[in-house]
Amino acid sequence: MITIDFKKGGGLIPVIIQDGTTKEVLMLGYMNRESWEKTLELKKAAFWSRSRRKLWVKGETSGHFQIIREIYLDCDGDALLLQVEQVGGAACHTGFRSCFHHRYEKGTWAPTGEKVFDPKEVYRP
Amino acid sequence: MITIDFKKGGGLIPVIIQDGTTKEVLMLGYMNRESWEKTLELKKAAFWSRSRRKLWVKGETSGHFQIIREIYLDCDGDALLLQVEQVGGAACHTGFRSCFHHRYEKGTWAPTGEKVFDPKEVYRP
């Protein structure tokens, strides 16, 4: 049977997060084995933060958890796709629904997409 | 202005391929700068194959090209999302529409999804 191949990416596997209802792609994160097991335990997406070098439950600060609906593994076992319910309606720390809010247009990256919250309100010190 | 950050992933950036019409996530690949430029030039998805260590235009063997419709960059500049028209109706070399054709069910990965072509017919020696 196929299993998750954590070795190929040096202990990390890329994880695509997709809105389970609208099918919009919300973000891409990384999981190590510990965050994968935490995801299964909580039924909420947990990642490995490459910049902060720590396990990170998405929404632990903002309350914008990603509740797991379905999980898919690709043909090589080296990428995951999670369909989620995005609490708060936005995945991006900038307040946009999706982290993919720059569209390529004639050689530049044009802002696009919908801003759902004000990060200053959500991430108060 | 935001730009693609190839450095973070050692010269490679993960690229999510999504069907532009159905919004189904088809696969995840990697691009280096050369394959990114090839993608823009051809208006078809080109990747860097980590296993074969070479530039690879998706569909060059099967004819199942991925014609670019929209390109998005994420908030950190370290992941791309391509919405495409999938020629032949299937992205996976196994003949399935999507590479993500194993669904997590009670601790195992159950085959799911739709097989569109027979790989023996498409990848003849």
- The pLDDT tens digits for B20-71 are 999 999 999 999 999 999 999 999 999 999 989 999 999 999 999 999 999 9
| Best of A16, A94, A106 to mutate (most B CBs within 10 Å, chain B) | A16
Distance CA B57, CA B49 (A): 10
The per-residue pLDDT for range B21-33, each reduced to its tens digit, is 999 999 999 999 9
What's the burial of B94, exposed, middle or buried (CB within 10 Å: 0-12/13-18/19+)? middle
Contacts of B53 in chain A (CB under 8 A): none
Give me the residues of A, 91-120, that contact B with CB < 8 A: 92-94, 96, 98-104, 108-109, 112
- Res A70: pLDDT: 98
Tell whether A25 is within 8 A of chain B (Cβ): yes
Angle at B16 between CA B14 and CA B18, to 5 degrees: 170
pLDDT tens string A45-58: 999 999 899 999 99
- What integer pLDDT is reported at residue A125 of this predicted model? 64
Q: Could you give the CA distance from residue A101 to residue B72 in angstroms, rounded to a whole number?
A: 7
Q: What ipTM describes this predicted complex?
A: 0.96
Q: How many CB pairs under 8 A join A and B?
A: 98
Of the candidates A25, A81, A109, the beta carbon closest to that of B1 is on A109
- Distance, in angstroms, between A117 CA and closest chain B CA? 15
Where do runs of H (alpha helix) occur along A4-113? Answer: 33-42
| Structure confidence by residue, pLDDT tens digits, B81-104 | 999 999 999 999 999 999 999 999
Residues B2, A118: Cα–Cα separation, whole Å: 20
Does the CB of A75 have a partner CB in chain B at under 8 Å?
A: yes
